Every structure is written in structure tokens, then in C-alpha cells.
Structure 1
Amino acid sequence: MRIDCEKDTAMRALSVAEPWGLEALEIVEAPDPTPGPGEVLVRMRAVSLNYRDMLMVSGMYSRMAAGGGTITPFSDGCGIVEAVGAGVTRVKPGDRVATMFFQRWISGPPNLDKLSSSLGSPIPGAGRELATFSADGVSRVPEFLTDQQVACLPCAALTAWRALFEDGDLRPGDTVVLQGTGGVSIFSLQFAHAAGMRTLITSSSDEKLARAEALGATHLVNYRQTPEWSGPVREATGGVGADLIVEVGGGGTIEQSMRAIRIGGHVAIVGVVAGVGGPFNTAVLIGNSARVQGLTVGSRDMFEAMCRFMDLHRIGPIVDKVFPWTEAKAAFAAMQGGEHFGKIVLEF
């Protein structure tokens, strides 16, 4: 049921269903939720957009429940705990928390159950004024961050953290290649710079490259001017190649990544924004003994380690654009247009 955004209602939420698409995204009225045993009630302050949210709203997300149904989008949110259910001791009313992308991935390696607990689908997401979550699926956050910045952490920041420090196992002085200037790439740049790594970042915009340089990027490549950007990577590393490439393009960029990675290096595939097809020369992979690993966010333990690092180094997420949550369609249009540097946030 559509409602007037200006009316004073008990609780409102974003909702999308077939036939999908931005025009199908609407604001609906819903009953105020009540936390059950082991749950918390959170009043949302902000959510951030990820490319996954765009796929979900468009009906193109591969992990959406069979048969579709209605989706409450957004995995990444910041809010204030208003009430807790029976048995909850991790947080208390008044605590500011972030929502965990995977509600049941607390620690250890991923498995089917943990990866089947993502917000947005199959679990209703954070795009609502009031929401209940598992108490295990929220975490307190650094006090110095704004609500908007906290909302950027659960997916993009944690993906970058895991790529660099959990799976990549990098050291100061190592070389990291970052593709584009979206959320994961900019977080990777900030983390790598704080840890004393050399970074090479690609973009089609000289203006965005200049902003990346101000954040500590040591090498800049405009991939429209230099589509064979593996060459500058080899040049910057004395012919050795990069230690880690955070691969966000997918089919549109993987060939260059394979040419740019060093022997024994690590390619972390975290996105497919440039397409899912494209060439993949397995002989190159064998020849340089590189590792190619798909990566999907991380655990709550990883998130809390990341927050300690951010607190120590005072790393503030780059929030590029902020929209009222009732203007979610405009925010998605900005994402589609590639207008952002860092993250786009909806504010409640």
C-alpha cells in the first residue's frame, strides 16, 4: 500500500516486489515490530547503498528467494537500540549499532548456514524506520564516526578489510591495486594507506583520481586513456606485479588483473560491475601460481577487528552523497550514473 510520505505514521519501510525496478520501489506502512527472545529493536538512523542493492531492486540478485516475493532492501545500516528481548546481554537500549550483513556469521570460516543469513534477502533488510534483528547480528561501533559513516561499514568496509588483512595477509610495503572509486575500493585505499602499503588505483575520471591521491594513493591510472592498465602496474612494481588486486569489475577487468598480479599473488573477486562474462586465461593463472578467490563480506569478529583498526587510525568513511531515505529512487539513480566517490547514504 502506497502512503503519503508526509503523513505521520507508526512505522514506514521501503519495499519492492515484482515486476521489480526503481518504479516498483515504494514506501509502505507496517506495524511496529516487537523484539522476541534473542532479538533487538533498532530505530534506524541511516543506510548505505551497495551495488548488491541495485541488483536486488532490479530483480537481478542471484541469491533472492525462489519465486521472488516482497523485499525490504538494504543490508548496511546504523541505528539506536530501543528495546531488547529476553536473554539479550550483548547490547542495551541506547547503544548505537551497525547491522551485520550476515546475521549468523559470527566467527570462523563461512558455511551455507552463515551465508544464508544476509539482510535484504532472505532476511528483511534495514530499509525501515524500526527493525528487529538478532542480537548476534548487530555490533557497537566507534564513537567518533557519524551515523552516516557507520552505515557504510557492514558490507563495503568489511569486504575491503577481509580482502586485505584476512584473506590477502598483506604486509607494509606490499602493493595493492584498486579498481574504480566506489565504496570497496576507497575503503581498501584508506586501510592500505594506514597500514603502510603502496596503492595503485584506476578510474575513468582524472578528478576522482586526484581525490584518491589526496587519500594516499601512490599511483594513478586513467583506464580510459590506458585500458591496458596492467602495464603501469608492472612498471610501478619493477616488473614484479601486484601483491593483491581487489577485483570489482568482473568480466570487464579480470584479464588485466591476471596480467598485473605477481607470481603467488592474490586476486580478490568482490564484484562484477563491469559484467560477468569475458576472457579468463587459466594458463596465466597456472603459470604465475596466483590465487583467485571469490569474497563475500565477512564475519562479526572481522567487523569488530576492523572497527578497532579504524578507531586507532581515525579512519572516517568517505560519504559522497546523502539523500533522505524517502528519496531512495534518486539515490539509486545517482549510483546508476556512477556519480559517486565512496559511498551514497540514505538518512532517516
Structure 2
Amino acid sequence: MKSIVIKNNYGLENVVVEERELPHVQENEVLVKIQSVSLNQLDLMIANGAYGTIPLPHTLGSDAAGIVEKIGSAVTELQVGDVVSTHFLQDWQSGDLKSIHLKNRLGITVPGVFSEYVALHESSLVKVPKNLNSEQASTLPIAGLTAWEAIVNVGKLKPGQTVLLQGTGGVSIFALQFAKAIGAKVIITSSSEEKLQKAKELGADEVINYKEIADWQNKVLELTNGEGVDLALEMSWAEVGKTIEGMKIGGKIAVIGLLGGVNTELSVLGIIQKSLSVVGIQIGSKSSYEAMNKAIEVNNIEPVIDKIFQVNQLSEALDYFKNGKHFGKVVLNF
């Protein structure tokens, strides 16, 4: 079978497709024939050595979807033929996140799922929404669930409230779709007029080109009658000070990404003055995943896929994703 691995040394140039043996299925495991996988910033970070303690070679990937082809003798929840997607934090089944839940993270602490076949414990798989195919379902494990966690479980966004979204990557676009399904107002930022227009077509109420409006936080305040937004999804962290200025008193900032780097200058005064909550988002539990899938079915939400590549186009796909050309998600088919 084909697997996407990082080998010899770190760096995207060392990510290759190679042949591996089919995995053996234990009694509590399920063999899944993977049809589609989707790319995340996490994959680039791992390949570039951000988690440098990972022994090489290492199979990449956290997000995949496919069809159950074989089940172990003790499997009770899944059957051959089920269409499933992977659950990133395998041990986080429900409740609050605990340190023990971080021990088995697909593609980080354990081998990833960018392979034609994977064998996983049945609890590490989730049945996909009935309105989605495998390509669409492959986008859910990190981007979809992170957005759901930020909008629903942490942000507790309500109808009529306003959320600020940064950029038009997978998490932001899922968050846009979830927020509109709730009945909230959405302000989204990007440096691309083309992407902002696409966001409006998806339902964004207001758009801001941060390349043209450097002090975009003032525009956020203007668009909210000086009040600020109830919730913001912080994707960059480099300009979190501007995010703070654009917040409503008592608002929440859900920290999703670190595209602007891991460190920043932060004014604690702004957080105190506005009584803000700043919360880091660590994807979500399996029970949260299942709740999200139900909402996707009920609201007939379809993940936005920018481009689909074949696995033999791996280098092209990585380059496309790395350069931020995408709107929504980038998918690879086996």
C-alpha cells in the first residue's frame, strides 16, 4: 500500500510516497480503506520539524476518510461497509480535555493516517455525516472539529451575536458555516478580494481586506457600532492586540493558530479592561465530533474544498497548500 511519510530528515522536500505493508488488524481494531485525506498546517509543522522528537521515518496525517473493509473479533460499533473518518485525539472520547488524552495524537505521537489502509481502534473512528462523501468527510477531523469547538462549545455563540474570523483557511470557513447555521453575524478578514467575495457568497455579513485596511480593528468596531465582537477566532497571534481592541466587553478570544509565530507582545491591560476570556482550542472530543456531524446533517452543511489532488501529485499539493492559495480545504485522493 502507498503511504505518505517524512523520512531521512525534516523538510517538505523529504515528504515522499512509499510502499508499506498492509497493517494487521487486532481484535478491537478496524481496517479502513482510505479514500481521501486532507491537509492541515499541523502536517507542515511536523514535516518541518516543529515536533522534532518524532523518530523518522514517520507516516504523516491526522485527517482521513474511507470505508471499513475488515473488523476485529471484538468490534461492536462498526460494520464492514461503514464510511468513517478519523478522530485526531484518539483517547479524548468525552468530557474535559486531560493530559492523558494527548498521548495518542494521530500523526504526532503515533503514526498518521495518510495511507491507503489504516488499522485503528474502533473508538478512533467516527461515522461520517450521511450527506457527505469521503472527500468532504476527510476535512472534518481537525478543521471542522476545531471550528465547532470554538464556535459552539467554547464560544457558545448565540443567534444575533457577532464573530470575527481571520483568513479563509479550513477552520475559518467551517466556522463561517457553523456561525451562519446558528444565526450569528460574521465578519471575516483576508488579504484577497477574490477570497472575500467567496466568503460573502457563503454568507459572511461583512468582509475586511486587512492589506488595504491596516488598522482593521477600527473597521470591526465601526461595523459593530463601537461595541466590538462577541467572539473572535485568533488564527495568527501576531496581531492579537488588534483582535483585543475589536472585542466587546466580556467577549471571548478562541486561539486557534499561530501562523504569525509562537510569540507576540500582548497587552494584559486590554484583556483586563474588557474582561476578556482568552482560550486555547485543542480540537475536540469524539462526543463533540459526533454532535458536529449531526449538525452537519441537519443543516446540510457541505465542507468547502478548494482543490483535489491525486496522491501522485503530492509535491504539487503541498506547495499549493504551503503558499496559502486555498480557500477552505485541500484534499488528496488515494
TM-score (norm 1): 0.94
How far apart are 1:278 and its partner, in Å? 2.3
Amino acid at match of 1:26: V
Counterpart amino acid of residue 173 in structure 2: I
Give runs of aligned pairs for residues 184-195 of structure 1, distance below 5 A: 184-195=171-182
Alignment length (residue pairs):
334
> 1:123, CA displacement in angstroms?
1.3
Provide the rounded CA distance (Å) in 2 between the counterparts of 1:185 and 1:87.
39
Q: 3-state DSSP class of the match of 2:150?
A: helix
Work out whether 1:51 is the aligned partner of 2:41: yes
CA contact (8 A) 1:18 1:59 kept: no
Partner of 2:12: 22
Q: Counterpart in 2 of 1:311?
A: 297
Contact kept in structure 2, 1:17 and 1:68, CA below 8 Å: no
- Tell me, in whole angstroms, the C-alpha distance in 2 between the residues paired with 1:279 and 1:180: 21
Match in the other structure for 1:181? 168
Q: What secondary structure does 1:243 align onto?
A: strand
Question: Residue 265 of structure 1 aligns to which amino acid in structure 2?
Answer: G
Query: How far 1:104 sits from its partner (Å)?
Result: 1.0
Matches within 5 A, 1:1-348: 11-61=1-51, 66=53, 68-250=55-237, 252-348=238-334
- Partner Cα separation in structure 2 for residue 67 and residue 129 of structure 1: 22
* 3-state SS, counterpart of residue 47 of structure 1: strand
Q: Output the CA distance in 1 between the equivalents of 2:233 and 2:314.
A: 28
Identify if the C-alpha distance between structure 1 residues 32 and 202 changes in structure 2 by more than 3 Å, giving closer, same or farther.
Answer: same
**Partner Cα separation in structure 2 for residue 34 and residue 216 of structure 1:** 46
Deviating more after overlay: 12-21 vs 186-195: 12-21
Deviations 1:204-256 (CA, angstroms, capped at 9, x unpaired): 01110000000000011000011211111111111111110001112x22111
Tell me: CA distance 1:340–1:67, structure 2 relative to 1, closer, same or farther (3 Å): closer
Alpha-carbon distance between aligned partners in 1 of 2:263 and 2:211, rounded to the nearest angstrom: 20
Q: Once the 2 structures are TM-superposed, how far is the Cα of residue 18 of structure 1 from its aligned partner?
A: 4.0
Tell me the CA shift for residue 293 of structure 1. Answer: 0.7
Q: Secondary structure at the match of 1:268?
A: strand
SS at match of 2:109: coil
Q: Counterparts of 1:316 and 1:234 in 2: how far apart (Å)?
A: 31
Paired residue type of 2:276: A
Q: After the TM superposition, which segments of 4 or more aligned residues of structure 1 sit over 2 Å from their partners?
A: 66-70
Name the counterpart of 1:7.
none
Distance 2:226 2:141 in 1: 36
* Residue aligned with 1:305, SS: helix
Alignment check: 8 A CA contact 2:9 2:56 kept: no
Residues 313 and 67 of structure 1, relative CA distance in 2, 3 Å threshold: closer
SS at match of 1:240: coil
Structure 2: which 5+ runs fail to align?
A: none
Give the unaligned 5+ runs of structure 1.
1-10
1:160 match: secondary structure: helix
Structure 1 Cα separation of the partners of residues 94 and 119 of structure 2:
22
The one-letter code matched in structure 1 to 2:259 is V
Offset, 1:67:
5.5
Kindly state the Cα deviation for residue 86 of structure 1 after the two structures are TM-superposed.
Answer: 2.3
State the one-letter code of the partner of 1:17: K
Q: Is the 8 A contact 1:37 1:86 kept in 2?
A: yes
Partners of 2:43 and 2:280 in 1: CA distance: 19
Shift of residue 69, structure 1, vs aligned partner: 2.7
Which whole-Å CA distance do the structure 2 matches of 1:125 and 1:328 have between them?
Answer: 16
Cα distance in 2 between the residues matched to 1:260 and 1:346: 37
Q: Please report the TM-score for the alignment, with normalisation by the length of structure 2.
A: 0.98
Q: Does the 8 Å CA contact 2:31/2:70 hold for their aligned counterparts?
A: yes
Please tell me the residue identity of whatever aligns with 1:297. I
Whole-Å Cα distance in 2 between the matches of residues 176 and 291 of structure 1? Answer: 14
Please tell me the root mean square deviation across aligned C-alpha atoms, in Å. 1.1
The superposition leaves residues 242-279 of structure 1 with CA deviations (integer Å, 9 ceiling, x where unpaired) of 110001112x2211111111111100001011222222
Matched residue type, 2:303: P
**Do 2:164 and 2:229's aligned partners in 1 also have CA atoms closer than 8 Å?**
yes
**CA distances 1:24-47 after superposition (whole Å, capped 9, x unpaired):** 111222111121021111010000
